[in-house]
Amino acid sequence: MLKIGRVANGDVVLTVTGQLEADNIRELLALLAEEADGRMVVLDLKDLVLVDRSAVRLLRECEARGILLCNCPPYIRVWIASGKEEL
Pairing of the two strands 2-9 and 11-20: antiparallel
What pLDDT does 2 receive? 95
What pLDDT does 64 receive? 94
What pLDDT does 54 receive? 95
Q: pLDDT, tens digit, for every residue of 24-82?
A: 999 999 999 998 788 899 999 999 999 999 999 999 999 999 999 999 999 999 999 98
What pLDDT does 87 receive? 47
What pLDDT does 20 receive? 97
- What is the Cα 75 distance to its own chain's centre? 14
